[in-house]
Amino acid sequence: MNVKLIKTSSCESIYEVDGVKLRLWVITGGEPAMSFEDYSFTKRYPIIDKRWQAEWNGCYPHQIEQNPIQGPSFDILPKGIKSVKEYLEENIPLKELREKRFCSLPIQTPICSKGFRDKENHTIVKFKINIQKRYISPLTAESNAYAGRCDDVIEKYAPEVFKKYVAFVNPLFDNSGASCTLETLTENQFQKLVSILAEISLYLNKGKKNEG
């Protein structure tokens, strides 16, 4: 494997491995973690180098004589460079699938509905979906009186197409939380998501035309 150190600090190092940038860092307590450069697909590893469990004061004791300071290297991982190879083999296909699916979504930015009057709470409520690569979010209701997954408010005031999103996505999110990501969906589930988001996009665009 072709390994190149891009930059390093007391707790973190960025490497390029066969053209892929990886972030390697030490979590408080000495636990190693590795991810792609953008922190996606983070994986934690058992502690095998106890030097990183020492108290950190800008650097660790073993780094005092290092000039410049060298942060963690792949030898803090259980299998060294073999752990890196296994990480890439497991996660590059998932990363590519996530990015491919995200690019094929009919909406790729956060969604916000128009405001609906909530007479009971004397406020205006909007419904939001946080579209992003990292995970699939539930529908939230936001106003100056409340915010979050307000099921009763959604049931009363959300347009039907947003309720359709809730019926599909919320059970997925409830079962897996932050692990509810684009790459973990089956192909049928993903196509269902695309279909619902396309309906929402059409609904929002019609609303804009009517306002115009």
What pLDDT, on the 0 to 100 scale, is given for residue 158? 95
- With bands split at pLDDT 50, 70 and 90, how would you rate the model's confidence at 53? very high
What pLDDT, on the 0 to 100 scale, is given for residue 180? 86
Residues 54-71: pLDDT tens digits? 989 899 999 998 989 999
* Mean of the per-residue pLDDT values of the chain: 93
CB atoms within 10 A of CB 58: 9
Residues 186-207: pLDDT tens digits? 999 999 999 999 999 999 988 6
Is the domain of 7 the same as that of 81? Answer: yes
Q: Which of 77, 103, 129 is the last residue of a domain?
A: 103
Going across the sheet that includes 43-44, the strands are: 3-8, 12-17, 20-27, 31-36, 43-44
Q: Which of 51, 70, 103 is the last residue of a domain?
A: 103
What pLDDT, on the 0 to 100 scale, is given for residue 208? 62
Q: Is it the case that residue 173 has pLDDT exceeding 90?
A: no
Question: 34 lies in which domain range?
Answer: 3-103
Structural domains counted in the chain? 2
Is the domain of 99 the same as that of 115? Answer: no
Average pLDDT over every residue of 83-98: 97
Is the domain of 21 the same as that of 62? Answer: yes
- With bands split at pLDDT 50, 70 and 90, how would you rate the model's confidence at 126? very high
Average pLDDT over every residue of 42-61: 94
Is the domain of 84 the same as that of 148? Answer: no
Is the domain of 14 the same as that of 49? Answer: yes
Give the pTM. Answer: 0.86
Is the domain of 61 the same as that of 118? Answer: no
Q: Is it the case that residue 212 has pLDDT exceeding 60?
A: no
Is the domain of 98 the same as that of 115? Answer: no
Is the domain of 95 the same as that of 17? Answer: yes
Nearest CA among 127, 105, 104 for reference residue 116: 127
**Residue 106 amino acid letter:** P
Is the domain of 206 the same as that of 123? Answer: yes
CA angle (88 as vertex; 40, 17 as ends), nearest 5:
95
Q: Which of 103, 133, 159 is the last residue of a domain?
A: 103
